[in-house]
Amino acid sequence: MISRFIEYWPVLWPALAAIAVILAVVPFLGLYMTFIERKVAAYVQDRVGPNRVGPFGLFQAVADGIKIFLKEQLIPDHVYTALYFIAPSFSLITAMFALVVMPFGPVATDYKSGFRFMVAPGIDIGILMMLAISSLSAYGIIVGGWASNNKYSIYGAIRSCAQFISYEIPLGMSILGVIAITGSLNIEQIVKAQSGSLLDWNVFWQPVAMLVFFTSALAETNRLPFDLPECEQELVGGFHTEYSGIKFVLFFLAEYTHIVTVSFLTALLFLGGWHFPGLPDPSGASTLVLALGLLVLLAKVSLVVMVIILLRWALPRFRFDQLMGLAWKGLIPLALVNLVGVAIVLTLGLPKHLLIATAVLPILAAYYSAAKFNASLESDNTLRNGIQPQGAVSYE
């Protein structure tokens, strides 16, 4: 047994080291992303934000964490106890398990030994596996709403279920074009295909796919403007109404883990990953070049995270019918048209950069939606001005 363990140790220790990095860094990121979000919100709303605990308020997140851990764990009498405790843990476990096949730094496609920024490199169905695992996080929310035995919680859980079903479809369809051109479901291979010039980044020939992917992924994270499962104006607190203390924090740690996953996927699939014009390929290169590649990837991820945070404080919440309409009437048709364009380019052997022309599709869709919305407003105004309530008295 010991001899076999020693034999496989060169293969085991890189995976164990990557797992340790994920387990150590992700909770820390979740803790401090709350601080960053509060500071960004304060900047957008022209106020100060956390600034009392530690220099520039940097220890506020630590103080909040200590406070949460010391809070009394209240368990309502009417909940289904076993499921009540399983739900937040299940959400966090599935969110973190999806990171197994995602590189968080430069990884060579033929890497065999030594530390790599990935738990399980070389998996040929990496994208498929990640989407399958991340979609399971919906069960945590659904079980949490059901176990709470509260009508507001179950409404939030049902909304979450409908939202996940709607946005999983355009999310998967948006990636199909990238997979078809690359010819692989392996994330490392997709990043390698973007290692040429700036125009080889997928965002420059698949702008519609990136827009659909980012919007769908944002809806899956339950973030504003798509946070209908926890809409406090309608559902008190939604699926987590009956949760408090560390159980409540686990749900939101899972949400922030999803944000990190979405940001990494956006950077890896559409923004060139760890590649940047003028820098050599960091995969298997010197330590300095490897560090530069890691910084490039983290900079791209930070940019996407900042966009997600700013959107929360810049856009109003959608109504639920608007949310469903956006998925079924907007994103799915856009993803279908984009996929047909990719199929035509591949079949006729045309340059893939002709697909840049699909960027006009969202503009036309937005113009059509605005025209339809204005027409409905005019119709409502006409009805309102032309029909008087029965029994109304005119004083003209």
Choose between 226 and 339: higher pLDDT.
339
Tokens of 212: 């659909």
Residue 194's contacts (CB-CB under 8 Å, 6 or more residues apart) are 200, 201, 202, 272, 273, 275
Percent above pLDDT 90 for the chain: 3
- 132-187 pLDDT tens trace: 888 888 888 888 888 888 888 888 888 888 888 888 889 888 899 889 888 888 88
**Rounded Cα–Cα distance for residues 216 and 251 (Å):** 20
What's the confidence (pLDDT) of residue 299?
92
Provide the mean pLDDT of the chain: 82
**Rounded Cα–Cα distance for residues 191 and 294 (Å):** 13
What's the confidence (pLDDT) of residue 396?
44
Find tokens 């890189």 and name the residue: 14
What's the confidence (pLDDT) of residue 392?
47
What's the confidence (pLDDT) of residue 1?
65
Choose between 197 and 310: higher pLDDT.
310
Contact 79, 147 (CB under 8 A): yes
Q: In terms of Cα–Cα distance, which of 276, 263, 138, 254 is closest to 210?
A: 263
What is the value of pTM for the model shown?
A: 0.85
Residue 307's contacts (CB-CB under 8 Å, 6 or more residues apart) are none
Choose between 244 and 114: higher pLDDT.
244
Find tokens 């608007």 and name the residue: 322
- 18-46 pLDDT tens trace: 888 888 888 788 788 888 888 888 888 88
